[in-house]
Amino acid sequence: MKILFIGDIYMELGQQAFNKYFQMVKSEYKPHFIIVNGENIEKGNGLSKKIYKEYLEQGVNVFTLGNHAFSRNDAREVLDLDYVCRPANYGPGTPGKEWVEYNYNGKKIVVINLLGRIFMHDPIDNPFMKADEILSKIKADYIILDFHAEASSEKYALAHYLDGRVDAVIGTHTHVPTADNMVLPKGTLFLSDVGMTGAQFSVIGGEINQAIRKFVSGMPERVKPESASPLQFNACIMDLDLKTIERINIFEGRNYGKTS
């Protein structure tokens, strides 16, 4: 079972990068199943029904989210869509699905989304305990978990905690691709952050000059997206049966190329 996981698609340039490179990557790696983190895809704040439909038609199977899952006015409608899962460790009564089940050629794939607590601001439940709760309820041939978290230490800890109990733990949220793709001792595939799809020369997708100004002055500003930049496309391809995980990092800017 080959799974393509595409990292946080960030705003308009993220959509441009997806449109430019998705079919090429899909053709080259021939995945059976495709997951997209749609946390920032529509104006930086969650997923829209329009993009959901367009991407499903292009071959995406499931969308995961993150801390902006509820930012849009139509969030409740989006969270009701069949193949969208929001972070499961919000409290009881939260709209949306804690996991998504998908049948592929007689095999059941479960995709789970969890939110980290370190350096995050939402009053969420413990992701370790929530993972235990979900795993006690589901039966599946393959389980992939998107851990939307800031701290690498928390991502490593959860991955080791779940080693051998899920097929893959893939980190999202920081928008910076890491080079630590590995197979953990009990067989779980892990990457602490798959990275961002969007503006390459930016500050995690935001306007460079604005970010510098914020760090120099200390004065808070609402992030503006970088609008003029070469593109980047970050993803990973996993074979859950052969236990392999490979990074896909496409950078358009000078002195950068494709790495794996």
Contact 47, 54 (CB under 8 A): no
Tokens at 130, concatenated:
């929530």
Residue 82 assigned to a binding site: no
pLDDT at residue 107 in the model: 96
Based on DSSP, count helices (H) and strands (E) in the chain, helices before strands: 6, 13
- Looking at 32, 68, 121, 160, which residue is catalytic? 68
pLDDT at residue 72 in the model: 83
Mean pLDDT by 10 residues, the chain (260 residues): 96 96 97 96 85 96 93 89 96 94 96 95 93 97 97 98 98 96 98 97 93 93 90 98 97 66
pLDDT at residue 260 in the model: 46
Beta strands 182-183 and 84-85 are unpaired
Residue 8 assigned to a binding site: yes
Residue 121 assigned to a binding site: no
pLDDT at residue 71 in the model: 83
Q: For tokens 């609008």, name the residue.
A: 227
- φ/ψ of 197, rounded to 5, equals -110, 115
Catalytic site includes residue 121: no
Which residue ranges form the domains of the chain, and what is each CATH number?
Answer: 2-251 (3.60.21.10)
Alpha-carbon distances of 200 from 63, 121, 250, rounded to whole Å: 23, 27, 10
pLDDT at residue 257 in the model: 53
Residue 32 assigned to a binding site: no
Residue 173 assigned to a binding site: yes
Identify residue 54 by its one-letter amino acid code.
E
